[in-house]
Amino acid sequence: MKKRIGILTSGGDCPGLNATIRGVAKALYQRMGDSVEIIGIANGYSGLINGEWRVMQPHEFSGILTVGGTILGTKRTPFKLMRVIGEDKVDKVAAMKKNYAEMKLDCLLTLGGNGTHKTANLLSEEGLNIIGLPKTIDNDIYGTDVTFGFHTAVDIATDVIDRIHTTAGSHSRVMVVEIMGNKAGWLTLYAGIAGGADIILIPELPYSIDNVCRAVEARGKEGKNFSIVAVAEGVYDTVEARMKKKERAAKRTEAGEITATSRIARQIEEKTGLETRVCVPGHMQRGGSPSAYDRVLATQFGVHAAKLVEAEQYGVTVAMKNRRTTENVLSEIAGKSRLVPPDHAMLSVARRMGICLG
C-alpha cells in the first residue's frame, strides 16, 4: 500500500520553496520508490479547505531547484479566521480534516512562516499527521537559527543598498531604504551591515529621530556628503513604543503618514535641511532564484522532512540549530516569534562599526 504525502505552501512566497519541495520529493522517491505518492495541494490552506489537489508525478520535481516562487501556488489564509465561519458558511477546520481524509493522506507537509505554523499546530491538535518546514525572509520563526529564503533576501536587499550608494553620493542625498520586516529586524540588520548602511532602524529598538538626524549631521561634519538609512518597515519611534498598536495606527493616519519610512525621510529633511529620498524595493526581496546558500538549506530541510515522514514522526517542524538539521515540537514553537534580542552579537558589531541604531 502506497504512503500518500500531501504538500502545501502557505503565506507569502519566497526563494527556496521549490527547492524544498524538490528536496522532499527526491528524498522520498529515493528511499521509498513506487511505494510513495505525493499530493500537491494548490494555494496553501485555501486549497486544503476547498479540495484543490492532484497527484504529482516524479518528473514535476525536476528542474525546479533554481526556480523562485512555488509550483503549488500560495495564498494567505489568516490563522485568526480559521475557526471563524464566514458568509460562505464553511467550517474551515472541518473542511480541512474532511479533505485530508478524502485524499487518504498519511501526513501533510506545510511550508510556511509563523501563521502557517500556527495553523499546522491546530491541525496537529485535531489529530492530523503534520510536519512543518520553516520559510520566511524575515527569519523570525522561533526555534530555528535560520529559515530558507532569508539569505537570498539579504543578498537582494544588500544589492539595493549597494546601488543606492552611488546615486546618494552623486546627488549628496540622504537615502532611506525600506526593507521588509514588520515585527523582526533580522533582514534589515544583516543587509544594512552587508551593504554599509550608516543608520539601521529595526522594530526591536524604537528609534529617536533626533538621534538619527544627529548621526546624519555628524557624517556631514566628517566631510561625508550622503547617508544611507536602512529601515525595517515595522519600525516605530520611542513615543509610539509607549502606545498600543491601534493608537500608533491612529496617530499615523491623523498625521497623514502612509509608512514609517516616509515619515522618517520627511523628518530628516525638515530637521537637517538635507535632500532626502525613499527607496522601497518591496516584493523584489521575495522574488527570483534562491541563492546557493538557500538552495543547500532548502535541500537539507526537505531531506530531513522526508526522513521524518519515513520515521512517521509527526507534530513537528524542521529546524536548524547550531548548524545541525533537527526538528521542534509544533506545539512548543507555534505562535512564538524569534526577534532580534537586545544583546545580539550583530548589534554589537553594528555599534562598534559606528552604525547608528536610532
pLDDT in tens, 209-234: 999 999 999 999 999 999 999 999 99
Chain centre distance of CA 235? 16
DSSP H/E element including 353: none
DSSP 61-74: GTT-TT--S-TT--
- 325-329: list long-range contacts, CB under 8 Å, 24+ apart: 325/300, 325/301, 328/143, 328/144
Domains and CATH numbers, the chain: 3-148+290-333 (3.40.50.450), 153-286 (3.40.50.460)
Question: Are 150 and 186 a contacting pair, CB within 8 Å?
Answer: yes
Q: Which has the minimum average pLDDT: 74-78, 124-128, 256-260, 318-322?
A: 256-260
Provide Rg for the chain, Cα atoms: 22
**Is the sign of the CA dihedral 26, 27, 31, 32 positive or negative?**
negative
Reported as a single tens digit per residue, the pLDDT across 176-213 is 999 999 999 999 999 999 999 999 999 999 999 999 99
179 neighbors 278 (Cβ within 8 angstroms): no
Report d(CA 250, CA 254) in Å as an integer.
6
Is pLDDT of 253 > 80?
A: no
pTM: 0.94
Look up residue 95 and give its three cell numbers: 473542511
pLDDT averaged over every residue in the chain: 94
- DSSP states of 274-302 as a string? --EEEE--GGGGG-SPPPHHHHHHHHHHH
Sign of CA dihedral 236, 238, 241, 242: negative
pLDDT in tens, 142-153: 999 999 999 999
- Cell triple for 159: 544589492
**Consecutive H or E run containing 264:** helix 260-272
User: Do residues 8 and 48 lie in contact, with contact meaning Cβ atoms separated by under 8 Å?
Assistant: yes
Phi, psi dihedral angles at 118 (to 5 degrees): -65, -40
- Average the pLDDT over 232-256 and give the result: 82
Active-site residue list: 138
8 A C-beta contact, residue 42 and residue 10? no
Helix (H, G, I), strand (E, B) or coil at 225: coil
73: pLDDT confidence band, cut at 50, 70 and 90? very high
Quote the cell numbers at residue 60: 514535476
